[in-house]
Structure 1
């Protein structure tokens, strides 16, 4: 058993490392295919500001920026230098927040995004699967069909559109929640009730926009799975044997339908990150999405690459954790 688990573990870890390696390599290549050069963009902005700089000084600035951004030598030399710096946790300085290192900006923003995304993803998953399971089991009821229609209506709505709607409703028309930010003025992170209250109040609307749209997808997925499972022979037999609906739903139907949903949860984290990018910007929430949005518009290539690397690693590790824990949810699956 230990040998099989070790073999299974090594295979999954190897796949995870390969995914991260390929993803980071693509992240390295894509910015270099863009026609704009970050060094020339930086020099052009200095010139556009009306500052007169001698040609010798401009050339010195160009050489310094090329070294700073790791653009020296051939593509292969840049690639090797890129991995060398990456292993030292050196992603270079941020151009838009120069000379602050990219890693420092990500360290500040990462906890906010991680808390927002993980909490909203798990809440949406639990609520959506519960409602979808009940609606799928009692699919002939009128209220169940109503829930299905509601889920189909909210599922196509983009996260940021839902964010705008909630912002207008509960921050402008009915000013119950704050318009922007992650904390109130003068409040700093600490283990105090004032900090926790302010944090939850500011995070409520961004999280709610992600939960509502995310739950719609989970409802439809779970409803579809349950509608197929209730037609299985063992469910029909249990019904004829007099097993109560509550016991049948919790122990036989939802429990079996949850298995593919567990895998989907890890993948959903990566999809939510795409929606969180604009959602965080709508609420000026200081997470990776807000940071990435500003980095894109300021052509901060180092920061864009750093955020992409962290998102790749995060999604790959989430899928790895699901792969390793999947046999715990389904005893029929063995490590091999």
Structure 2
């Protein structure tokens, strides 16, 4: 009972509060944009020379307002939005009308999930291993070389690295395709040749994310390890004759990993930073490209659908990591 009252319940309250506030914000922000999707659609029809009767225009506006959840006052729209959200209905997309938003998200989510999950895990593991060893053996030459490389790559914007990889490996040396997630007109299947095509198209986007994120984790882990290795219990273990390998892995790196575990959950927010830019640069068919199209066209429903899914994924991952934290840190269990 003490665990539920002191640890689980406060985190569940924060979890649902963050979701509520986040979804409310994404409901309000699109309505502050200077783009009216309904007026844009009518304007396009008029620009194409289509004659529309004034009564037909009014009926069309009412129908589209109902479809996009823009009918009624702001409060009525808000209540209607929550009702549709609880049913998993985000309405139709504007720029791919009349395809439902949830269908577009289902099509794009596996691409982003596969790209992000793979690159995040690979960069987190490699970055923490290199950072842990580099922080403890900071006087080694290979650590100094990695520090120099990190100083160059770490502050580099994602789009600069992505464009550099495209020019080098898709134009100068045409080893990989310029963009896309699969062959044009092709169908993904569970075969070895299909998997090779997928990996070939995903290699450059994944490499651009991994290269930067490895050095993000490397620098952070190195600082944590340098701080931990100066603690009294580490010095006591050295004086007690404990093996150096045990000190490195059991005493130093294990304790320095705790903030990195939290950072792993927070890194899923890359869809709004590096992953979005990377997907656009490589024309990768993920949520980042879909979100860009939604912003560009003023697609309210698609904007709210993508950001709602992102909020749910990020907050849930943080909650899971927070609940599993006592398994990694016994000090939390003792409290």
2:334 & 2:70 partners in 1: Cα distance? 45
Write out aligned runs for 1:150-169 (5 A).
150-169=149-168
Listed as ranges, the gaps of 5+ residues in structure 2 are: none
> Which deviates the most, 200-209 or 36-45?
36-45
2:36 & 2:289 partners in 1: Cα distance? 23
Q: Residue 246 of structure 1 corresponds to which residue in structure 2?
A: 245
Q: Residue 207 of structure 2 corresponds to which residue in structure 1?
A: 208
Write out aligned runs for 1:314-325 (5 A).
314-325=313-324
Q: Residue 23 of structure 1 corresponds to which residue in structure 2?
A: 22
2:138 & 2:299 partners in 1: Cα distance? 51
2:304 & 2:8 partners in 1: Cα distance? 29
Report the Cα offset of residue 314 of structure 1: 1.0
> Which deviates the most, 147-156 or 218-227?
147-156
Instruction: Encode CA deviations 1:266-305: one digit per residue, 9 max, x unaligned.
Output: 1111135421112111111111001111222222221111
Q: Residue 6 of structure 1 corresponds to which residue in structure 2?
A: 4
- 2:181–2:284 Cα contact (<8 Å) kept: yes
- 2:271–2:288 Cα contact (<8 Å) kept: no
Q: Residue 90 of structure 1 corresponds to which residue in structure 2?
A: 89
- 1:187–1:195 Cα contact (<8 Å) kept: no
2:49 & 2:297 partners in 1: Cα distance? 19
Count of aligned positions: 334
Report the Cα offset of residue 100 of structure 1: 0.2
C-alpha distance 187-38 of structure 1, shift in aligned 2 (>3 A)? closer
- 2:36–2:298 Cα contact (<8 Å) kept: no
Listed as ranges, the gaps of 5+ residues in structure 1 are: none
- 2:26–2:307 Cα contact (<8 Å) kept: yes
Task: Name the TM-score, length of structure 1 as normaliser.
Answer: 0.94
Write out aligned runs for 1:210-289 (5 A).
210-289=209-288
Write out aligned runs for 1:137-216 (5 A).
137-185=136-184, 187-216=186-215
Instruction: Encode CA deviations 1:75-119: one digit per residue, 9 max, x unaligned.
Output: 111100000011111111111111000010001101111111111
1:335 & 1:82 partners in 2: Cα distance? 43
Instruction: Encode CA deviations 1:205-252: one digit per residue, 9 max, x unaligned.
Output: 111111111111111111111111111122122223333332221111
